[in-house]
Every structure is written in C-alpha cells, then in structure tokens.
Amino acid sequence: MVAPHPFDTVRESEVRLASKLVKDSHPASANVHFVQIDKLDPPKNDMKKYLEIERTGGKLPSIPRVLYAYYYTEETVFNKALVNVTVGHVITKTQLPKGVCGPLLPDDLNEWEVYCNNHPAVLAEIEKLKLPAGYSVRNDPWIYATDDINEKRPLCQFFMYVAAGNGHSESNHYSLPLKFSPVFECFTKKFIRMDYLPGGFDATLVPTQPWQEVRCVEYHPDLNGEDTTARDVKPLLITQPEGPSFTVDGSKVKWQGWEFRIATTAREGFAVYNVSFKGRQVFYRISLSEMTVPYGDPRAPYHRKQAFDLGDCGFGTNGNHLALGCDCLGVIKYMDGVGIHANGEPYVIPNTVCMHEQDNGLLYKHVNYRTGNSVLARKREFVVQTIATVANYEYIINLKFVTDGSIDIETRATGILSTMPIDENVRVPWGTIVGPNVMAAYHQHILSFRIDPSIDGHKNTVVYDDALKMPKDELNPFGIGFVSDRHYVEKAGHVDQSPFTNRTYKIINENVINPISKTPVGYKVEVPPRQMILADKDSFNVKRAKFATEAVWVTKYRDHELFAAGEFTNQSKSDTGLGVWANGVDDVRNEDLVLWATLGFTHIPRVEDFPVMPVETHNIHLQPVNFFDRNPALDLPQSNNAFNKSSLFESNKTSSSSGCCKTNL
Amino acid sequence: MVAPHPFDTVRESEVRLASKLVKDSHPASANVHFVQIDKLDPPKNDMKKYLEIERTGGKLPSIPRVLYAYYYTEETVFNKALVNVTVGHVITKTQLPKGVCGPLLPDDLNEWEVYCNNHPAVLAEIEKLKLPAGYSVRNDPWIYATDDINEKRPLCQFFMYVAAGNGHSESNHYSLPLKFSPVFECFTKKFIRMDYLPGGFDATLVPTQPWQEVRCVEYHPDLNGEDTTARDVKPLLITQPEGPSFTVDGSKVKWQGWEFRIATTAREGFAVYNVSFKGRQVFYRISLSEMTVPYGDPRAPYHRKQAFDLGDCGFGTNGNHLALGCDCLGVIKYMDGVGIHANGEPYVIPNTVCMHEQDNGLLYKHVNYRTGNSVLARKREFVVQTIATVANYEYIINLKFVTDGSIDIETRATGILSTMPIDENVRVPWGTIVGPNVMAAYHQHILSFRIDPSIDGHKNTVVYDDALKMPKDELNPFGIGFVSDRHYVEKAGHVDQSPFTNRTYKIINENVINPISKTPVGYKVEVPPRQMILADKDSFNVKRAKFATEAVWVTKYRDHELFAAGEFTNQSKSDTGLGVWANGVDDVRNEDLVLWATLGFTHIPRVEDFPVMPVETHNIHLQPVNFFDRNPALDLPQSNNAFNKSSLFESNKTSSSSGCCKTNL
C-alpha cells in the first residue's frame, strides 16, 4: 500500500498503532479509555515546501504522520497524547487539568442511555408515570454544558421522553417529553441528582405526575398517517451517460479547472486542502470549525442547553452513512470516515462524504438584440456533501465548487427540534408550541467556518470595502455619485458588520496586481449580515463562544489553531480559541492569515418545523474579485440541446420552441 | 375558441381589436403611434366573487376584458386609452400632461439607432475617429432619464461604440466605448445636442480624437480565443421518463398541491394569480413590480443613467425566446408573450416563460441513531422562469414553488456591464477598469416585488418580529434568555430594516388561529438586509424611485396600483407609486393589503464580470409560519434509488455504499 499523502484521511492502521502505543505507555491498571483519535494537520511550513516540490517536481520530503489521542485514565482523568505513527513513538503525553473534558464517544452514550433508564432513581420516576401498555420511556443523553465555574466532574444530562407507537422503533419520542431529567457523572456512572423541568409559564416545578395521554406527532411513514401517493411525484432522473467530469485519485480531486485534496476528520466532518483553480492557488484549507447552539429558555436546567456540535461530540464521528439516490443524485463518489471504540479500535464510517456534479441554472447569458444571437453557459457545480446527526438534529454541509472560480459554502439545518414539555393552555415568550403539550424553545445556530487563504501565495491581507455616497459638490452636482471606501485589517481581531454600507470582506494579495484593474488580486467572502449570539456578554454562553459574537475574524496563521471555541468545549468555562487568538496584537496585513466567518441564524421554530424540519439553508460565498483578467468561465462550451437532451411538455410539442437557442455558431 | 379566463394573457385578437378601436377614435391625421398595449387586471372585488364560484361551483359571472393602450398622436402627444374588448368600445381616452412619456418601443429603438448613426452630426464625429478598416460604429439608444424639472420633450441618449471583429455581428462593442453621445428627440428625430464623455479622473471633456487601437475583450466563442474543450464537460442529463408531475390547462397550473394561474405581461414579464397550496389560499398575485438601476459616476451625462427596466421599456416586451436545453433543462412547458408594433399590430414573443421541475437537494432528513433508520425527502421545486434583455444587460427571474409550501423568488443578474471610456493609466473612485481603456461604473440594481397576499382570505396583517435578549433577573439568572417581540403595521408605510434583532416580516391572518401554536396563521417574507439607494434624498434618482429607499412597504389594496415607481417612469420627475400610496393614513391592519419587497444590491463590478457577467443571485423567500398544523411535506414519498436511479462513481463500484438508505420500510 502506498504511503499516505500528508493531507490524507487517517488510516485504520494508524489509529490502531497510535492507540496501542498510548496503551503501552500506561500501566494496565490505568484502564485507558479513548474518546477521539485522529490525524494532526502537518506543519504548514513543511507543507509549503512539499507542495512546491509536488508542483515543480523533485524528491518529496517525508513528513511524519502525527495522530492525536484523547483518552481517560482512572475513569475521570483526561489525557491527550501525540503519536508519530510514521516512526511509531509517543511524542508527548499530557494530563489535562481537572475540569477539562473530552468529547463524548457514541459507544459511551449508547451504554449510558441504557444504564440511565435502568437506574433505581430513574425507575422510581418512571413508576410514578403509570404508563399504559404500549408505551415505554426513552432518553437522549445531552451535553451538560456549564453554569458553575467550580464544577470539575464530567457530567451528562439525560432528557427523558415517552415512546408511543406500540413499540415501533421509529416512534417520535421528541413529541412526548417528560418533566424529569437525571444527571450522571460520565464513566463512573455516579447518579448526581434528578432535575425537574417546568411545564408552566415560569420556573415552577411539580413532582412527577401520572402521564396524561396525548397525541404523538409522528414523522415516520409507518406512523404519520400521510398518503404518500397523493402528490403523484414523477421521477426526475439525473444521469451522466458519458461519465462524470471529475477524477479522484486518492485524496486528490480534479474538476473543471479545480484541484484540491480532501480528508474526512473526526471533528470537522471533512476538510479540503491546497485548493487551486486554473493553476492558481486560492485556499490552503477550508473547513467547518465549530458550531454552538444556545437555547433561549432561561429556566433551569434549560439555561445549560448550549451544544458545541463539533467540539463536544465530533461532527465527523456523528457523520451519516450517505446512500445513493437518497442523499445524493447523479454519479456519486463516496468517501469513508474513521471512528473509534473506547479501546482504541477503529471502525469505518461508510460514505460519510459524497461528491457529485449538479446543474444550477444559468451561469451567464447575453443576447445581442440586433441579431437575436445569444451566448449562454449553464452553471455546473461540484458538490462535496456531509451530513451529521447530533441526537435529534441534522446538519448538512455542502461545499460547492463552481465553474466561474467561486465556492459556495452551504449549511442546511434539518432533523427534529429539541423539545420541552408544556402544560395545556400555557404559552411562553421564548418558545413555540409545535404539538400537543410540546414546546420548542427559541435557539440559535452559530457556525464558524475556518477559511485559510492562499490567494496567489500565502501572504494575504483582509480588507473591507464600504459603498459611500459622495458629498454634493461641483464634481457631484446632482448628488447621485458614490464610491467604494477600503479599510485594511492590520491586527488580529474582528470586523464589525455593516450591511447598510454594503460592507464587503475581501482577502487580497497586495503583492500581486491585476493587470486590468491595476488593483491587488483577491477573493470576496460574502457573509450574510446576521444577529449574533443573544446571550448576555457575561454569560457562560458568550464566555465559551467568543466566535459567536462577531461575523468576521482575522488571525495570524499558527499550526493547530483550527477550532474557533478552542480545543476542548465539553463543559468548557471559557473560550480558548478566537477569544485568545484574535488578540489585537498580531500583525495580519500581508501575512499568512486565517479568516473565520461566523454564520449565525436565530431559529424561532414554526409548527411546520415539526415533527421533522424542512431545511433552513444559509450560505457563505467565496468569489474571485479582480483575480482573473476576465470572466474565467468564458471557456465553457455553449449550452445547447444536442448536449443537454431536454424535452418538451406534451402540450408544447407543436409549439414554436426550437431545440436550440439562436446563435450564429 | 373558448372565452379567456379573466387572468389569462392578452390575446392577439384582443390587441388587434383594441388598437383598431383606438385608431378609429382619432382622425387619420393624428398618426396614432402605439408603444404598449396589454390587459388591465380585472377588479379584485369582482374576482373574489368569481373565484369563490369557481371554487364552489355555479354560473360564473362575465367579467369584461379591458385593455390599456399607450400611444402618441401628433408625434409627441402622449395618450392612454382603456378599451373594453369584450363588448368592443373605448372606455376612456386621456391625453397625458406634457412631460409625461411612455415606454420605449423596440421597433422605434431599432429605427432610431440606424437614424442616429447616419445623422450628419454623428457622422462628423465618426469622421474624426479615422477608424481603420474592419472597424465600424454602433450605438445603444439609452433612456434619457432626468436632470431638469422643465424638460418636457421625449428624449433619447445614444451611447456610441466601436465594433471590431472584422465585421463579425457578435463583436463586443461594449469593450470599445466612444466619448461622444448624441441626444435626439424621440419620434420627431430632432437632433438636440452632442454630449461628450469624460475619459479622465474628473469631468474634463476633450474634442473627439482619432481612435487609438486597443484590444477588444470579446465574449463570443468565434472571437474570444478560448479553448472550449479544455474543461472536458460531460453531459448531465435531466429526464422524466414517466413525464412531469405538473399539469397545465390554459393559464391554470397544478403541481404537488400548488395551484395558480399565470399570465405573461408586457411590463412585468409574468404574474401569477390566485396561488393556493393544499387547497388553502396564500397569494392573490405575485409579480416583479419595478426595477431601477442608478449609476454612481457623478459626471455628466452619466448622472442621468437611471433605468427603470419595467416602466421604461417593458420587461415582458424585452423577454427572451427561451430555448430547450439552453435556458431550461428537463421537461419544459413554454408560454408565449405578446408584443406590438407601432401600428398596433400584435406579434408573438415565443417561449418567453418556461416552467419545469428541478431537484434541489434534501428537503428534510432525520436518522434515529439508535436504529440507524432514516426518513428523508428530496427538495423538488417547480420553476417559473423568464429572462429579459435590456440592451446590454440580462435579468433572470425565477419563481420557485417548493413542496413544503414555500416560494423562492430568485433574481439572477447577468449580461454585459454598461461601460464608459477611460484613458490609459487613469483610475476613478466610482468605477472598475474591466478591460483596456474601458470602465464599468459602480451601480445599484433595486427591484421591487409586489406581493398581494390572501393568507386564508383577503383580510391580512403585516407584522415584524424582533428577537430580543431578556433582562437578567430571577427568571433569567444566567442571562441567556431571549424572546420574540411582535409589532403590527397599522398604517400604510414602510418597515425599517433591523438584521441585528433578527427582524422578520410576516403576513398573518388575525382571524384564523393555528390550532397547535394558538397564534395567527401566516407567511414569512424573508427580504435580505441590504443597502438601499445611495443617491442623495433630494436627487432625482430618489424622487423618482421612493421604493428604492426602504426594504419593506405595506399599502392598502387598490385596483391598478401595480407599479412601485408609478405608471409612467420614462423621464419621470417624481414617483407616483409607493411614494404616494404609502401615505401613513390608510389602515392596513386586518385589511386587504399589499406588501412590496425591495431587493437591492450594490454592484461594484469585478474584472470577472466582463465581457459577460457570471450570475449574481439574490432571493426573497416566502415561507409558511404556523400556517399548517405540522410539516406539510410529510406526505412526500421517501427518497430511494429505486426511484432516483443514481449510480456510483467507477472507483466506488466495489465500495460499501448500498443502493438505498437504511430504513425499516
């Protein structure tokens, strides 16, 4: 088997070796319990040389593959090791301070879920429900989050639900939330306490009562009572009889002038590396960096509902097994992820990333009205998709490469709302009633995308341009003039949002001037203006996720600074990421820098979002700005029906529509 | 032939009758010269009754078809007539005040273009260019716009260009703009004056000099020198072997629970009427209402560059002839438009609207992590598309109906930038150099979409909701709580933008309460927060287009109030639309109201936007909010590969990917 490329996904053999070396470095009595093992990114300075030789030819230097391992010893002692799996030795082993917790492992969650449901304290509460036959109790283990600076135990909160559907495995328990919620210590499985959930308009709690029968809002076709034939949906087939336009060689993908490498990762889902278009470097690395989901219901224990879907549980670890004709249409290339068991044994997460081409309407068109002749090209996109299920909720991340040199970073939120019990005839100002006696609290989804640019090289600058009206003077007598006003980001920090001056963020290379515009080459980063985190600036929600307070951040590049809220988010008390790195001190102009784009959306649930939510879609757009000397898509073949083979709707068969656009080609 | 439905597109026979009746009502000496004839919308009160009978059955009342005709008499006298073509008489004839101008007619523009190029004053300037062989001169007649309250003549400005390409009809003259620009009076063809265009960094003008040879940036495949085989684009076919899922009966379209009527119109391109989803009324009428494109170069004569692409020339009148496999992929239904000649004779604009289905990724998904079973449905859309070419520029309007009850109103801007000459080594703060000696001034595209709702009936209310943090108190001790704060629009006017409070605009029906949420049913109107018109508030640009100053407007419904900047925009001195109707007086709460959404984007041209511009896409989203009692797309069939017939990328053929998602169906 050929040696892996430095950017390749971690291999099972590498995980196996790393976990063995780590276990061997501890006495058996330590009971090494792994929670995450993955590859560390290679040092950028080494990779710059490597990639240059790769480009120009010559003997490639050997860059050791280094893995990190997060694991517990003595049940609650959290450790991190770095392992060189190329030569096979443990580089460092660190015992982390008490109170620092690692990400949760799916195996553990499944085990704890069963344990919780059978714990005497929980059984006692279930007893009080006096559930009728055909009903059972389920629980979702939930991130405990933070409300006490002194809490140092790794804890887990369990939200309890009734499962109806006469034992049908897919019955929607999220429709039937219960009012008690036990807290356990992880690993030791110590019962900490029983929390109770309010059902009224305030924080008042009541002891567990016999369960009142209420209709369960089901999503599964077996149970939802819908007639799926009523819509008469006809197939719409997407085929590529001559095969796709892309090639994949290991981690290397080539499509329509785009070239990049891709790796799946435990924490991010996937990352793309060394992205170039038409032979020019544009981005060194693009990935989802972190996501926080704070809830707006102020009542205990809901005030602790703040998930970090990457840091707390691993977006890749929770990646879906994508399936042909379901998650992806067309000719599909799949990539696998790698997960681990607590003993350090790896397993394959099949098809966690899918890649395919799609048509997205027109890319450009012009008709010469004098002759009626037109030029037009279709907008073809190459989509890299991953989907993660984090308990109740699904996130779809699509990285779309476009034939005009732009990249669209798309997030789709779907799945099932996190629900709370609510009493009959009660309404609350922080949530929507989405079903009988079930409430979905207002919350925010705040994602951070890490964009590590290499616009014609690694020395880049972030600028922002405002469109400003000109003063009314002799040059502008009619008061209609406006200009673009440029500002340079000199120090690591953030840029304020300013939609009403049309503020546009750009990454430019001041060392490369566009021969046409006579201005530095660059890429625009279109981040939609959004409400940022609503929580009080002194709240734990904000202290733990500084990235959620601003839309655009710039930091100086440093190896291993990948995660916007810091390396360890589970029960974190403070942000060790952007809050630290955006220090106002580092020079970032004409430097190797990183731009962090925060994509926030405040989610006020609709009844239509239940029992399963139609996608809410949000995009960040990367677009060349005065990077090329003209439209880089002029070389696309003209669109015509000999190529696209579309057909007429019956009643049109006799119409005047020609099979091709008028052109003089 | 069956009688037309009141919402049907105007018929050629109706146009012919109307123009005859108008001509007969004037002496032959009047030289009636038509510029626009189309159908007037039927009175809404009549249509409410009509549609109710249509729904419940019974004898349909006859609603007369009324056409409007805009025409000139005695060359420069502008008139408007209303004609009842059902009974066949002229209802009213009005001579409009001097200074009010009608829209420009394509026939006229073509005639004037030739006339201009052969006028002695123009030939004299061309002479001075001493053009080498193989070069000729072209011109684009341009909207004269406004800078003088006393100017009452219908004028036209001609922008002049050099055509290279050795006489190739598709050579891009926009790459070679000239520095003189004659102004003529329309119809009389009187030469008014010769304007000269600045080429430096200020308003300084120079007499016409011999033309300096400069490279023409070509877009046409014959001329642009691109290798269109380099990308190796493989076909991507979209087929519906069992036919499409929609039906079309006259103007009536049915698809996936959606029902509406559609008509093409001379001014708007098309409008949809009486839109319902799953049997419930949602919108009475949706259309593009107006668009203004003000430019930011303050120098004469550019200060007058402010186009109204609907009112000045007719978006439908300038509609493209869409072609199978070019503008639209899949199984396509086309609709024709109707244009007129100056003599009132109609002609067909073939295929000016296309309708088809498309796949847009996942609509919803959830995986039960306990069982690995998933439910998922694809997002199928029904697209109604039209494309207009307004001289150099193209606009694509897509109305997308989605299977979850939402509607996406998409605008794509493409075509060729309006260019100005610029001297070597000169830069200006209000424009981008996009080619050798050619500059594209910064400009804005500000569209108004008219949304006439009927959310479960015609008495609706516009509200806006802000997400606000709760005070830190005993109910919110951790400072993480937030609530939604509702405001009601009581009087005709506008709503301020407020993205940082997550301001969301909704049209609700206060008379219909959602049984689940216990709140009024409604639809959200997602208008992206944008910079509005930059021109000074006292400028003609703003006086003529009040709609461009605010993002969301609400007015009380009145028949024939369709166009945001008023009925006549060509050389208008002031806005007679929203500026008048949004009067702060009319009650609009729980009334028959209209919401006007302004979609603005400030366009700072990129070199990549030349010679033809990759689409810039902007969307307004209409989405049910607590309108249904659950996700209305639960009845969609589950997505699987037996249905979608996708295939694996070669290297995946042996992979673990199954042909279907895991489900227990």
Instruction: Give the contacts of B243 (CB within 8 A, at least 6 positions apart).
Output: A234, A650, B331
Integer angstrom CA distances of residue B504 from A191, A502, A531, B619: 44, 20, 12, 15
Tokens of B69: 């005709």
A vs B: CB pairs below 8 A: 653
Question: B651 contacts in A (CB within 8 Å)?
Answer: 248, 333
Tens-digit pLDDT profile for residues A614-651: 999 999 999 999 999 999 999 999 989 988 999 999 86
Strands (E), B454-492: 461-469, 482-488
**Cα A55 off chain centre by:** 31
User: Hey, what are B279's tokens?
Assistant: 């049997």
Mean pLDDT for the stretch of residues B140-159: 96
- Residue of chain B nearest A358, judged by CA positions: B236
Q: Is the pLDDT of residue A371 over 80?
A: yes
Q: Identify the residue among A313, A424, A482 best suited for mutation to test binding to B, counting B beta carbons within 10 A and taking the highest.
A: A482
Burial pattern B157-174, b for ≥16 Cβ within 10 A else e, equals bbbbbbbbbeeeebbbbb
Task: Please state the rounded mean pLDDT for residues B53-59.
Answer: 95
What are the tens digits of pLDDT across the range A98-149? 999 999 999 999 999 999 999 999 999 999 999 999 999 999 999 999 999 9
Query: Which residue is closest to B216 within chain A, CA to CA?
Result: A630
Buried b (16+ CB within 10 A) or exposed e, A521-556: bbbbbbbbbbbbbbbbeebbbbbbbbbbbbbbbbbb
What string of H, E and C letters represents the secondary structure of A149-185? CCCCCCEEEEEEEEECHHHCCCCCHHHCECCEEEEEE
B654's CB contacts (< 8 A; 6+ apart) are none
Q: What is the distance in angstroms between the Cα of A45 and the nearest Cα belonging to chain B?
A: 32
pLDDT at position B664 is: 52
pLDDT of the residue at B650: 80
Structure tokens at A357: 């081409």
Interface test with B, best of A202, A326, A335, A400 (most B CBs within 10 A): A326
Question: What are the tens digits of pLDDT across the range B359-372?
Answer: 999 999 999 999 99
Distance (Å, rounded) from C-alpha B53 to C-alpha A641? Answer: 44
- Contacts of residue A318 in chain B, CB cutoff 8 Å? 369
pLDDT at residue B658 is higher than 70: no
Q: What amino acid positions of A are annotated as catalytic residues? A: 309, 393
* Over residues A139-165, mean pLDDT: 96
Task: Express each pLDDT in B347-394 by its tens digit.
Answer: 999 999 999 999 999 999 999 999 999 999 999 999 999 999 999 999
A196 vs A206: CA distance, rounded Å: 8
Instruction: Specify the amino acid at residue B469.
Output: K
For residue range A500-527, what is the model confidence (pLDDT) as tens digits? Answer: 999 999 999 999 999 999 999 999 999 9
The answer to whether B383 and B399 have CB atoms below 8 angstroms apart is yes
- Segment A313-338, tens digit of pLDDT: 999 999 999 999 999 899 999 999 99
Q: What's the first-to-final CA gap in chain A, in angstroms?
A: 50
The answer to whether the Cβ–Cβ distance between B219 and A366 falls below 8 Å is yes
pLDDT tens readout for residues A567-585: 999 999 999 999 999 999 9
Residue B147 in 3-state DSSP?
Answer: coil
Rounded to the nearest integer, the mean pLDDT of chain A is 96
**Confidence check: pLDDT of B656 > 50:** no
Confidence check: pLDDT of B250 > 90:
yes
Task: List CB contacts (< 8 A) between A356 and chain B.
Answer: 649
Q: What is the pLDDT of residue A653?
A: 57
**Confidence band for A657, pLDDT divided at 50, 70 and 90:** very low
Closest B-chain CA to A228 = B635
| Minimal CA separation from A330 to chain B, in Å | 5
Taking all residues of chain B, what is their mean pLDDT, rounded to a whole number?
96
How is residue B198 written in tokens?
């600045």
Our CA-based measurement puts residue B12 at a distance from the nearest CA of chain A, in whole angstroms, of 16
Amino acid at A639: S
| Whether residue B479 has pLDDT greater than 70 | yes
DSSP letter at B387?
E
The torsion angle over the Cα atoms of residues A237, A243, A245 and A246, rounded to 10 degrees, is: 110
pLDDT tens across B324-355, in order?
999 989 999 999 999 999 999 999 999 999 99
> Contact A34/A102 with Cβ under 8 angstroms?
no
Q: Could you tell me the two tokens for A133?
A: 């036959």
Among B436, B454, B533, B449, smallest CA distance to B260 is for B454
Half-sphere exposure (CA, 13 Å, Cβ side) for B380? Answer: 28
Residues of B in contact with A234 (CB under 8 A): 240, 242-245
Distance in Å, alpha carbon of A250 to nearest chain B alpha carbon: 10
B434 contacts A519 by C-beta, under 8 angstroms: no
What pLDDT is attached to residue A2?
82
Task: Show residues of chain B in contact with A651, CB under 8 Å.
Answer: 248, 333
Is the overall model pTM greater than 0.90, yes or no? yes
Q: What is the pLDDT of residue A658?
A: 46
- CB–CB of A531/B467 below 8 Å? yes
Helix axes B106-117, B120-129, angle to 10 degrees: 60
The catalytic site residues of B sit at 309, 393
For chain A, helix (H) and strand (E) counts, in that order, are 7, 33
- Cα A463 from chain centroid (whole Å): 25
Q: What is the pLDDT of residue B661?
A: 57
Instruction: Give the pLDDT of residue B626.
Output: 98
pLDDT at B655 over 60: no
